[in-house]
């Protein structure tokens, strides 16, 4: 379950939830430490809510940097947002697409 932008609960695509978990595990393997900020966000907002907030945040998340620097952006949350665009509002999708197209222009 996730809370959509309007505050209502929706069912999450199970494939999407599984891929979010796989992305987190991959990041944890690459860095050698837990995704201590991401997991609580997902618990609080659900997968879609958490990823939506991450996409529109002005901050560049460490996970994005790690994946970018290891040529693994296809395994990023941004890639998941574009793949499962039907779950997200347009601003989150546009932000994810921009980040993927301009990975080195982010601070």
For residue 70, being part of any structural domain is answered with: yes
For residue 57, being part of any structural domain is answered with: yes
Range(s) of the domain holding residue 33: 2-101
pLDDT digits (tens, 9 = 90+) for 84-96: 999 999 999 999 9
Tally the domains of the chain: 1
For residue 20, being part of any structural domain is answered with: yes
Return the axis-axis angle of helices 62-69 and 14-31, rounded to nearest 10°. 70
For residue 106, being part of any structural domain is answered with: no
Question: Distance between CA 66 and CA 61 in Å, rounded?
Answer: 9
For residue 107, being part of any structural domain is answered with: no
pTM of the model as a whole: 0.84
pLDDT digits (tens, 9 = 90+) for 32-66: 999 999 999 999 999 999 999 999 988 778 889 89
Question: Distance between CA 100 and CA 45 in Å, rounded?
Answer: 23
């Amino acid at each position: 379950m996730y809370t959509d932008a309007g505050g209502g609960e929706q069912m999450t695509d199970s494939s999407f939830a599984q891929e979010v978990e796989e992305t987190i595990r991959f990041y944890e393997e690459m860095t050698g430490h837990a995704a201590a900020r991401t997991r609580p966000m997902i618990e609080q907002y659900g997968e879609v809510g958490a990823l939506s907030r991450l996409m529109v945040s002005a901050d560049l998340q460490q996970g994005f940097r790690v994946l970018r620097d290891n040529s693994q952006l296809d395994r990023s949350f941004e890639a998941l947002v574009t793949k499962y665009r039907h779950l997200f509002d347009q601003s989150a999708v546009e932000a994810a697409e921009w980040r993927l197209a301009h990975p080195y222009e982010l601070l």
